Amino acid sequence: MRDRPTSPSLHTAWLNTPWRRWYPAAVARPAMSPAWWTWVASRDSLTARLIAAADGRPFRVRLLDQRIGRPSNDEARALGLKPRERAWLREVALCIDERPWVVARSVVPLAKLHGQRLDRLGERSLGHWLFRQPDLERGPIEVTQATAGFHDGHGPWGRRSMFHHGRFAVLVQEFFLDTMAAELSLPPR
């Protein structure tokens, strides 16, 4: 069942943003301020970090879209999928005070779901479930940056990594937005 996007404008804007290719985080580090590096390279839960940064303001996972579909070619390559192989796709906005700070897109090959009923997650954080798994393993973090369009010439930073829990595997992609930079007084890059 497809959960209808609750914010088509944000959903469309983000999906239509051209992103550069992905780099190992360490390669991108020289181009990134230490303040951003703290966020982009952290290996713990982004949900937990955002809740802490919200400093008591309400945090919400806003479900934009969730369905079985075809990953992008880039995602299929990262997941080692055949070109037309389908996957479980989830897109959310992580919001503080109803303002999106991060948009995220997670992709699980159907063959890697192993009975996990993630369609029941709704607006609970995927991270909240992932970081409760004692055998959770996180792969290396890769970084990208949007080309112009989102933010006067400086696109936001994006990051992705694989999470493994037993035979379950998910590619989690997170894109940090201007709202977050402004709220936390982070530099453009």
Please identify which residue in 25, 28, 40, 61 interacts with ligand ISJ, judged by CB under 6 A: 61
Distance CA 189, CA 178 (A): 10
Choice from 25, 40, 46, 76 touching ligand ISJ (CB under 6 A)? 46
Binding mask 102-121 for ligand ISJ (x = CB under 6 A): x-x-x---------------
Q: How far is the CB of 42 from ligand ISJ (least distance, A)?
A: 9
CA pair distance 155, 178, nearest whole angstrom:
9
48-62 burial, b at 16+ Cβ within 10 Å, e below that, comes to eebbeebeeeebbbb
- Return the closest-CA partner of residue 148 out of 30, 28, 18: 18
Residue 59 near residue 95, CB atoms below 8 Å: yes
91 annotated ligand-binding residue? no
Per CB under 6 A, 180 contacts ligand ISJ: no
CB closer to ligand ISJ out of 92 and 177: 92
- Site for ligand ISJ, rule CB under 6 A: 45-47, 61, 90, 92, 94, 102, 104, 106, 125-127, 130, 172, 174
